[in-house]
Structure 1
């Protein structure tokens, strides 16, 4: 059994950053919280653009997003994730109206980047949690900004983040040959597109059902493994 030290540190950083964000959010004027929210949206959009621009096989990226969206919409993933968030909200008796939105947005932001995959492979294959330590620092600061706006739901995102990253670490230890550098490149690009969607949602330009697009992360691995 692999002890997921990097994942534990990452989850702890999300909790710590979220707690700081909650403390700050209650003291910040509405206009300050609004500009923080917009700044986070712009930075998230820029990060997504940078990641999305790494693709070398555009058709694989495009078909992954389209097929993943069709699968996710057919499975009604967005509503299912929202219902889980609402159920957790009732369980902890939170009255925060943005609880579910904060949980889902934070989870997607923390988990669709290339560092998540690379960190899992490094810890699963070599027992080296260094990438996850770096990711923990970034996620901790992001949690401050997210929690100051969305509230306590951001802290609870640490639970699915832990489960997801630990699952990837165990997967990497068993199936290290599946994700080649070429597949990783297109996976990063698809993750970048999803992060761009988070930025668009944060800026309230148009609401995108990102939960329905999550299967694209699996589809790109399958297509990449077949055609690259």
Structure 2
């Protein structure tokens, strides 16, 4: 199976960073704010459309509940934060902050953006979904959003934003090709419940982007790995 979504996503991040770096402070603040809200709205719209096709609602809900409990217990989001923060030493050496922003603020924003691009529910679900279905549409839509996000962030942080394609591509490629291996063991119902679970995470991501509710989306990620096993078990017990 040909996997293309992660590479498309990487290319648009690089292009967006180059454009944003060239624009500098020329992008109006009003446009930045409104585009960010639209990003959140698009994420919620995609999530709702996938939730509507759920095959077994109880299985999806159980996966989300158990997955979130697991993520909270192991403090998954904190672990991802520490992993991204560990890259600071390298960043400090090769990526000096743009004029007008302190080194501390540069690193804080850079780490937050790296997590947003590389470890978001949309990216992880999109990569796994492409691996199982061959459909890169989720990652392509994410690429649209990331392109404009990279432009916005690069106007403040400069061309350094382009380097985020490295962890983002690595994570997505590993998940996509890993998902390919489980295709023979899946059913249409399992895939539908997996997609619906991903849809819930995308709604939570949209609410967080819009500043409506700060869900710890990273702590919900284990739900994606539980969705299909629980779906299969539910179908076996209640079929």
TM-score interval (norm. to shorter):
0.7 to 0.9
Q: Residue 43 of structure 1: CA displacement?
A: 1.6
Aligned pair 1:171/2:171, yes or no?
no
Q: CA RMSD for the aligned pairs? A: 2.8
Aligned pair 1:211/2:218, yes or no?
yes
| Aligned-partner Cα distance in 1 for 2:197–2:139 | 22
* Runs of at least 5 residues in structure 1 that lack an aligned partner in the other structure: 124-130
Q: Residue 219 of structure 1: CA displacement?
A: 1.0
Partner of 1:92: 91
Aligned pair 1:15/2:14, yes or no?
yes
- Maintained 8 Å contact 1:17/1:140: no
Partner of 2:73: 74
Aligned pair 1:141/2:144, yes or no?
yes
Q: Residue 145 of structure 1: CA displacement?
A: 2.2
- Maintained 8 Å contact 2:127/2:173: no
Are the structure 2 counterparts of residues 53 and 148 from structure 1 closer, same or farther at C-alpha, using a change threshold of 3 Å? same
Q: Residue 205 of structure 1: CA displacement?
A: 1.0
- Maintained 8 Å contact 2:127/2:176: no
| Aligned-partner Cα distance in 1 for 2:133–2:63 | 25
| Aligned-partner Cα distance in 1 for 2:19–2:77 | 29
Count the aligned residue pairs. Answer: 218
| Aligned-partner Cα distance in 2 for 1:117–1:183 | 13
Partner of 2:51: 52
Are the structure 2 counterparts of residues 137 and 186 from structure 1 closer, same or farther at C-alpha, using a change threshold of 3 Å? closer
| Aligned-partner Cα distance in 1 for 2:44–2:229 | 26
Name the stretch that deviates more: 191-200 or 140-149: 140-149
| Aligned-partner Cα distance in 2 for 1:106–1:159 | 10
Secondary structure at the aligned position of 2:42 is classed as helix
| TM norm structure 1 | 0.80
- Maintained 8 Å contact 1:183/1:225: yes
After superposition, residues 121-132 of structure 1 pair within 5 angstroms as 121=132, 131-132=135-136
Partner of 1:111: 123
Partner of 2:206: 199
- The structure number with the bigger radius of gyration is 2
Q: CA offsets, 1:147-184, max 9 Å, x none?
A: 23444686454334323333234434543322222111
* Runs of at least 5 residues in structure 2 that lack an aligned partner in the other structure: 98-102
| Aligned-partner Cα distance in 2 for 1:195–1:91 | 31
Q: CA offsets, 1:121-142, max 9 Å, x none?
A: 466xxxxxxx44x566534321
